[in-house]
Amino acid sequence: MRLQSLPRLGWNALWTTLIFSSLAQAIDVNINDDQSIKNAASTAAYGAMSYYHGNESGQIPGAFPTKWWEGSALFMAMLQYQYFTGDHTYNSEVSLGLQWQAGEGDYMPSNYSSYLGNDDQMFWGLAAMLAAELQFPDRSEGYSWLSLAQGVYNTQVDRWDTSTCGGGLRWQIYTYQAGYTMKNAISNGGLFQLAARLARYTNNHTYYEWAEKVWDWSCSSPLLNNKTWSVADSTNIEDGCESQGNNQWSYNYGAYLMGAAYMWNYTNGTNTKWATAVDGLLNNTLDLFFPTKYGGNIMSEVLCEPNEVCNNNEILFKGLVASWLAFTALLVPSTYDRILPKLQGSAVAAGATCTGNGNNSCGVRWYTSKWDGWTGMEEQISVTDVLSVNLITTKHKGPVTSTTGGNSTSDPTAGSGDKSGQTTPTRKITTGDKAGASILTIGFAVGWVGLMAFMVIGG
């Protein structure tokens, strides 16, 4: 993901526009009625897909030019939506978009690859992995979903950086990107999760070994503390990965938790390492992101929501984590009874926020149980996620594997020809590089603030 210097403003910050909006009925959810949940998810999904234009004449399937990774979040939401509800309305758009952005079989498309981070690519790999696990049909032409996940995995393990901090994946791929000197939780947690899922799906132990390697390195770094089960956002190679960025984001916890759940399931619950990891990470995830002051069963991105400063990326985190919690409940049955009430409480509250703009636009802060004035694709995606996954009550088995119904074609060498972003930098990043990046960021920020002020005050 690219750095975002300022949070996205909600409509409440541009309050004068509200007089032109009318309120719709909330998405009313009877959490004990499957059809009610399906209807609610359908409304939210329609809102999310209304922001997608890749299926229109002259547009590029799967493309979100200024926020490319978010396409993967949208498609993961739609994959889950069709799986849990049985509504295949959006399948053709999802299938084409996932394929169109595949690049040379590893989600490094030439139009966007020059600015992608490891986390951007990883999320598209997880989307392809999800398609394989949910038996989403491979396309008759192009790459299989499994091979795309394998392509992302292969390119990322090739970037594993043992030249600094004893290992780890950098946040960014290229030396000129701001954040290249950082190793962050979501890139490493995401690679850990992807490898664990590939191990379970293919029953290839090499993927398991790599997943464990990423996990063990994460625990040896400041990123993951396997005693307190806290997850730091990042660490920096410039001080030998001694420091840590302690921002607490839900998706960092969720990425490692989901991976640990797959590792537990792959080993049939026989390895206490993964049972301990699931319990520790789940405890912290539920304690931190389901605050008791909101009743204890409604998810909140606690770092940005209270002050209404969440940006587009951060608004998506709850949807991702809701999905990962749901699959954790299926993969590790002992967690089911703890997780389900959290998903149910969040779904009811999230639906209640969808009264905006006369078209069921959903808000960010679910704990308010009313629309908070925020509007966007990201809000719709997260609400779609949390509504859809409440139908785990109808799915009593985890995602399929190659031996339990999965039929996506394997290509263990996918992506091996792509050497983008090898781990050894061509030169050190200089103070000038950093200053240049800062100037560009500040310049954008100033211009953006000016534009917003003009919109509010008027020319």
- Residue 12: predicted pLDDT: 47
Structure tokens at 255: 């990425």
| Residue whose token pair is 């779609």 | 384
In this predicted structure, what is the pLDDT of residue 263? 98
pLDDT at residue 154, rounded to an integer:
98
pLDDT score of 419: 64
Q: How far apart are CA 104 and CA 109, in angstroms?
A: 7
Tokens encoding 237: 């190679």
Per residue, what are the HEC states of the chain? CCCCCCCCCCCCCCHHHHHHCCCCCCCCCCCCCHHHHHHHHHHHHHHHHCCCCCCCCCCCCCCCCCCCCHHHHHHHHHHHHHHHHCCCCCHHHHHHHHHHCCCCCCCCCCCCHHHCEHHHHHHHHHHHHHHHHCCCCCCCCCCCHHHHHHHHHHHHHCCCCCCCCCCCCECECCCCCCCCCEEEHHHHHHHHHHHHHHHHHHCCHHHHHHHHHHHHHHHHCCCECCCCCCECCEEEHHHCCCCCECCCCHHHHHHHHHHHHHHHHHCCCCCHHHHHHHHHHHHHHHHHHCCHHHCCCCCCCCCCCCCCCCCHHHHHHHHHHHHHHHHHHHHCHHHHHHHHHHHHHHHHHHHHCCCECCCCECCCCHHHCCCCCCCCHHHHHHHHHHHHHHHHHHCCCCCCCCCCCCCCCCCCCCCCCCCCCCCCCCCCCCHHHHHHHHHHHHHHHHHHHHHHHHHHHCC
Whether the pTM exceeds 0.85: the reply is yes
Q: Which residues of the chain have pLDDT under 70?
A: 2-23, 419-459
| pLDDT mean across residues, the chain | 89
Give per-residue pLDDT as tens, 123-169: 999 999 999 999 999 999 999 999 999 999 999 999 999 999 999 99
Both structure tokens of 320: 């991702």
Residue type, 455: M
CA angle 127-130-136, nearest 5°?
105
In the chain the first and final C-alpha atoms are separated, in Å, by 33
pLDDT at 431: 39
Cross-strand pairs, 183: 170, 235
Question: What are the two backbone dihedrals, phi and then psi, of residue 274, each rounded to the nearest 5 degrees?
Answer: -80, -30
Question: Tokens 């590029």 identify what position?
Answer: 60
